[in-house]
Structure 1
Amino acid sequence: MADDREKMLNLPGVISALLGVMAAIQLFVAVAPPSVVHSLYDAFAFIPLRLSFLLAPQRVLAALGASPLDQGREEFATLLGAGPLVYVTPITYAFLHGGWTHLLINALTLAAFGAPVARRLGGARFLWFFGACAVAGAMLHFLLHALDATPVVGASAAISGTMAAIVRFAFTPGARLGYDSIGGIRARTASLSQLRENRQAMLFLIVWFGANLLFGAFPEAMGSSEPIAWEAHLGGFVFGLLTFGAFDHWGRQV
């Protein structure tokens, strides 16, 4: 019994490391000069318009009504094009936050939902899964807002992926969140067809999608004065739901 309580209270090392990195970055943001903070977010936040310009500059200029012969075209290109660094922002944006409150909310949800998934996958595979969910969230947001210049920050998309992963194994009969303390037994990963027959899992999915759409439409309900990138949350969640079985199977094969 004491061993079970210890496992519940102690976070996996990979979760503690992620939280530590995010907190260190936010502390740096809190004490660094404003110009440095602006440069940090300018370089590592995910900005759909910049990726669009890097992939198809002429198409972006045409969409924004800028002729290739415009005198200010080069300045415009310099403003939008941050070079190859743009390609890493679909991951780096997950480590930046809009303030301590934003970080605290994400830290609590990562600890609650990420820990069981990390215990099941192990540190290395969890990092791959976490990063892939972050990228999936950024890409869905990009597809729907390709010309948006608003920076996207926060780990919510990646955390949404871990929430979806839990649906794949936490609602099976007799499931435990992680390995059993005796014999290393763990709950089987439910297939997508099996989820449809699980009332608890379906209720969780309905509540999650409903809440995400609600907070996207009314960000004030989350205490945010800025729009919430709910599409990124959706992208991370759907990716996590669809691919967790593959990540879990990969672990049994290695």
Structure 2
Amino acid sequence: MDYSRTKYTLKPSLRQKFEGIIWKIETDDKLNIVAVEVRDADKHIAAFSAFDYASGKTLFKDITVADSWNWGLDRVSDGIVLLHGYMSEQTPEHKGMIAINGEGKTIWQHFNKTLHDVSPSGLITFNPSVQPLTFELTSSADGSTLQYGIEKLAPVSRDIILPDINTRHTDILPQNNIAGPVLSCALNGKTFFSFHLHQDNLFSQKLIITEGDKVILDEFLERDIQKINPEAFFIQHNHLFCIRNKKQEFVSYLV
């Protein structure tokens, strides 16, 4: 096959750079909104951003909350970015919620409620200090309790596609210096590959996308890293999301 590499036709729908390290990414299950958590260990600050990845519009970028280092990105639901706090600095267990709207404004906060999951009817929350554990349905719009003592409420369906280990040979990939597994998946007539190259005791991570017999994207996600990066990319709502350039740049592609 003629895997032409002369012209890459796939262009980013969204590209954003940050000063800190990208820590977490979350997408809305219905809307074209993606939220990003960035941490700067030197400044001891966590910042949060949200974008419309279909249009490339910035909803808000690098906003912080009080005591931001002790808050993290949890989920995005109905256009609301939800943050979680922690029981203490020594435990990963969550406690507390902050809700931020599409303008970057905090619209409600609970110090005792904790997010368990998101359902089509609202947020499934609980108070970790109350035993036995009792779930309640909470409004994402204003944080009010819609129903207390709920049972068997199914979470929202999320059409997230993650790549699997590819064990089949393909001549699109380099035949030498590949280290670790090749990850791949397919969607809409396109095939997506991510893998690492090993040279001089360092690794580089690549992303290649093909459509038929043409390469439509061939780029490095990372160069000269000391160990294999387990994260490659994920796909949701026909958009591919990935982190590159020392975990300081976030990119999405319409695929």
TM-score (norm 1): 0.21
Q: Which has the higher strand share?
A: 2
Instruction: Answer 1 or 2: higher relative contact order, Cα 8 Å, separation at least 6.
Output: 1
Q: Which has the higher helix share?
A: 1
